[in-house]
Amino acid sequence: MGYYSKLSSAIYNDIISGLRGAHSTTSLSLEQLEDEISEERLTILKEYALKGILPKKDLLMSINCITTDCKYIENCQCSSEIGTPTIHFEIPQILTEYGGGIEYIGSANKQNSFSWYTSPITATYHKYKRFGKNKPYVYIDITPNRNNLYDCFVFNAPMLQKVTVIGVFKDMRQLEEYGCCLEDVNNMTFIDTEIKKRLIEKKIRYYRQFQAQVLPNTQVPE
């Protein structure tokens, strides 16, 4: 069972218990709860970031040994031009607006960290650096591709076959697609407790208000 599946099941059970047997009128599904968990998580992270208390280290997840392939960086699918083949891999969407989102990106053994850029213009300037211009670097395209993931292109690393990425990701469900490449997708933090608390309160309040609607008077006058 995945990260969101466990959390949504726990929230669902608490909602049903909180409604004290009146849950027959609810139309809540676990799939809907998973979507709302993802949305609530992003809202909470934004709140913490604006307050300057975002616990980034508690949110980091590691995806190990991601296999690389070769892709044309131009991505001109409607063009007959061949393009430039470049070492490529995909990662789940990252929280670029909160301190960059990436803690480490580099060799699979985590011994060789690469520079990384989310701006194509800034990535171009890498080759003009005074120091380290010949070391591997990664350009992360933060516009989702057809798989709803981010394309990453590696330069100055011709023999690279696998990479490891540690970062803060937007939707934890995307990490589940990487299977054994994950270290601990079920890592629970106080953020999860806050998500659970908020959603349970919102749902119970909503359904109780729904049940408390005034019913029409069906009594027959004497």
pLDDT digits (tens, 9 = 90+) for 142-171: 999 999 999 999 999 878 899 999 999 988
Q: How far is CA 39 from CA 34, 44, 158, 167, 195, in A?
A: 9, 9, 39, 19, 10
Residues 40, 35: Cα–Cα separation, whole Å: 9
C-alpha closest to that of 138 among 154, 149, 162: 154
Taking the domains of the chain in order of start, what are their residue ranges? 1-55+189-211, 57-185
β-strands 102-107, 61-67 pairing: unpaired
Least-confidence region, from 70-74, 96-100, 135-139, 165-169? 96-100
- Asked whether the predicted pLDDT for residue 182 surpasses 60, the reply is no
On average, the pLDDT of the chain sits at 83
Percent above pLDDT 90 for the chain:
36
81-121 residue pLDDT tens: 567 789 999 999 998 776 668 999 999 999 999 999 999 99
How far is Cα 63 from Cα 160, in angstroms, rounded to an integer?
Answer: 16
What's the rounded mean pLDDT across residues 46-55? 85
For residue 14, the model assigns a pLDDT of: 86
pLDDT at residue number 104: 95
Q: How many CA atoms lie within 13 A of 210 on its CB side?
A: 13
Report whether pLDDT(79) > 80. Answer: no
